[in-house]
Structure 1
Amino acid sequence: MAGVRRETLQAWALILPALVLLVAFTHWPAVATLVDSLYTTPKGSRPPRFVGVENYVALMDDPVFWRALHNNAVYALVTIPASVVLALLMALAVNTALPGRPLLRMAYFTPTMLPMIAVANIWLFFFTPDYGLFDRIVGVFGMGRHNWLGDAATALPAMMAVAVWKEAGFFMIFYLAALQAMPPDLKEAASLEGSSRWNFFRRVTLPLLMPTTLFVLVNAVINAFRLVDHVVVMTRGGPDNATTLLLYYIYETGFRFWDTAMAATLTVVLLALLGTLAIFQFGVLGRRVHYR
C-alpha cells in the first residue's frame, strides 16, 4: 500500500510542472475570457458592468462578424483538403527512388521553416500589380494588370494559396514518416497477389495512414482558424473585409478598438467552434482510425 502511494506521489510530482503551466496559460485564460465576455469593457474610472449575454446578442447583429465567419469557413473548406491532399501527394513522390530525392524533400519542406512574416512579404511581392510575379506571368498571355490583393474576388483566394504553399510541406513530413514506417512485406505480398498500385494504395496504404491523417487534420483545422500574421501584413482584412478572418477580427477588436469585452465574446465563439470541430474529428473520424 505504501509503495502504491509512493508511486502515485511520484507520478503527480512528475506531471505537476506541466499541469501548472497548462492551467496557468490555457485553462485559466479560457475561464477568464468567458467571464470577461459577460461584462462591459472597463474604460478609465468606469469599472466593468455585468451584462450577461448582451455581448453575444450584439455579436449576432454584427455584419462584420458574419462576414469574418463566412470568410473563415470558406478559407478552411479550401485550405484544409488542399494542403492535406498536396502533402500526401508530395510524400508519395519523395518516398520513391527518385534522382535528387533529398534535394526535392528539402525544397518541399523549406516554406515551413520560413517565418510567417517573411512568407507574407515574399508573396506580397508576388501579388504586386504591374511588376509582381503573377502579373508578369499573365502578361505573357496578353492579360492586363490585376490587383490581386485589392480585388475582393481574388484577395481571399490569394491568401489561401499562401497558406497551402506554407503548410503542405509541414504535413508532408508526417506522411513521409508514416510511409517509411510501413512494413515492406505488405507491398511484396500485394505484388504476389497481383494487386495493382491503385488497389494497394486504396486498400492498404490509405487505411494505415488514417492515424496520421487524423493528426494532420487536427493541426490543419487549428491553422485555418489561427491565421492573423498574413492578414496583418498583406491585406489588413481588406478590401471591404473580404479577407477578415475570425482571429484577425478578434485582434482588431481588442487591440485597435480596445473593446476587450467584445473581443472576449468573439474568442469564446471561436473556442466553441473549435471545440465542436474537435468533437466531430475525434468522435466521428476517430472511429474510422485503426492503430496497429
Structure 2
Amino acid sequence: MSQAAARQAEYEKAGERMKTKTKKQREIRNNATAWALMAPALIFMLAFTVFPIFRSLYLSLSKYKLGMDGAEFIGLENYVKLAGSKLFWKVMKNTIVFALMTVIPSMAVGLGLAVLVNRKGKRVGFIRTAYFYPVVMPMIAIASVWMFIYMAKNGLFDQLLIAIGLKPMNVLSSKSTVLPAMAVMYVWKEAGYLMVFFLSGIQSISDEVMEAARIDGAGNWTVFRRITMPLLAPTFLFVSTIAFTNCFKLVDHVVIMTEGAPNNASTLLLYYIYQQGFTNFNYGVSSALTVIMLGLLLVVSLPRFISQDKKIHYN
C-alpha cells in the first residue's frame, strides 16, 4: 500500500508540474500576443513622441545651427540667452495675454452654445453642425475669411465702423488691436469644439435630477446655476485644460495673417519657435523654447491630473 501511495503522490506531483508548466506557457503566449498587438503603437509613440522630447531636451542644451556638422553641448547657455532677451519676454507676454483673451471667452461661448443645442427637434442637428463647422474648416480658409473681415477700409469691420460714423482702422496693423482681433477669430473657431464637451457633460446629467428640481418650482436659470453648473465641474476642469493647450498651439493663423507684425506685437510662443527653427535655423534656441512651452503646458495640465481621483460626482 505504501508503494502504491508513493506512486500516486508522484503522479499527482507530476500532474501539478504539468499544469504549472502549461499555465506558464499559456501566460507567455498571451503576453507575447499582447506585446505583438501593442508593438506598432509603442513603436509609433517612441518614434514620434518619446524620442523627439528627449532629442529636443538634448538640443536645448546644445549649439546647433544649419551648416554645423553636429550639435555642440553648451549647457544652459540657450536658456540664459532667452532669459536676457527682451523679445522672448515680449513673446511670453503676448502668449499669456492671448490666453487670457481667449480661454475664458471660448469656454463661455462654448457652454452657451451647448445649452442652446441641448434640445430635441428636427433642426437641432443642423444647428449643431453649423456651430461646429468652423472647427473643421481649413486653417487657410479661416484666416482668409477673417483677413477679408479685417481688411483696411474695404473690409467688413471697417465698413461697419464707417456705417455707424466712426473712423476706419486697420486692426491687424495696430499694436493695440492686433491681438484682440486675432482673439475674436480664435474664439469664433474654438467655441464649437468646446461646445461638444460641454454638451456631452450636460447630456450625462440625469433627467430625474432636472425633473425633481422643476417639480420643486425651480426655473431655468436656477436649474442651470444650482444643478447644471455644479455637475459640470469635472467637465470644466477638462475643457479648461484643452482650451489652454490649444491656445498655446496657435501658429498657422499668425503665419498667414500677420507674421508677427506689427513689431512682434502678434508673435506668439509657437510662432517664435517656428521662426527660430525654420527661418533662423537656430535649432538649439528653438529646442529650448520648445522645452519651455512643454513645461508651461505641463503646469497647466497638472491640476487636472492631480484632481483626477478627487473629483466630486453627484448621483
Q: Could you say which TM-score interval applies, normalised by the shorter chain?
A: over 0.9
Match of 1:66 among 89, 107, 110: 89
Query: 2:110 aligned with 1:87, yes or no?
Result: yes
- After superposition, where does 1:138-287 map in structure 2 within 5 Å? 138-283=161-306, 287=310
- After superposition, where does 1:99-110 map in structure 2 within 5 Å? 100-110=123-133
Paired with 2:71 and 2:113, the residues of 1 have a C-alpha distance of: 53
Helix, strand or coil: the match of 1:152? Answer: coil
Query: 2:140 aligned with 1:117, yes or no?
Result: yes
Helix, strand or coil: the match of 2:62? Answer: coil
Paired AA for residue 194 in structure 2 = F
Mean CA deviation greater in 257-266 or 89-98: 89-98
The structure having more radius of gyration, on CA atoms, is 2
Unaligned runs of 5+ in 2: 1-22
Measured at CA, do residues 75 and 284 of structure 1 come closer, stay the same or move farther in structure 2, by a change above 3 Å?
A: farther
Q: Decide whether the 8 Å contact of 2:250 with 2:270 is kept in 1.
A: yes
Count of residues paired in the alignment: 292
Measured at CA, do residues 145 and 98 of structure 1 come closer, stay the same or move farther in structure 2, by a change above 3 Å?
A: farther
Measured at CA, do residues 145 and 45 of structure 1 come closer, stay the same or move farther in structure 2, by a change above 3 Å?
A: closer
Paired with 2:66 and 2:124, the residues of 1 have a C-alpha distance of: 59
Q: CA deviation at 1:288?
A: 4.2
Q: Percent identity?
A: 41
Q: CA deviation at 1:133?
A: 0.6
Q: Deviations over 1:182-239 (max 9, x none)?
A: 3322211112223333332233222332333333222211111111000001110010
Paired with 2:290 and 2:314, the residues of 1 have a C-alpha distance of: 34
Paired AA for residue 269 in structure 2 = L
Unaligned runs of 5+ in 1: none
Paired AA for residue 260 in structure 2 = G
Matched residue, 1:36: 59
Mean CA deviation greater in 175-184 or 165-174: 175-184
Mean CA deviation greater in 45-54 or 254-263: 45-54
Helix, strand or coil: the match of 2:52? Answer: helix
Q: Deviations over 1:125-154 (max 9, x none)?
A: 100011101011111111111011000000
TM-score normalised per structure 1: 0.93
4+ residue runs of structure 1 moved beyond 6 angstroms?
A: none
Query: 2:128 aligned with 1:128, yes or no?
Result: no
Paired with 1:286 and 1:238, the residues of 2 have a C-alpha distance of: 44
Coordinate RMSD, CA, aligned: 2.1
TM-score normalised per structure 2: 0.86
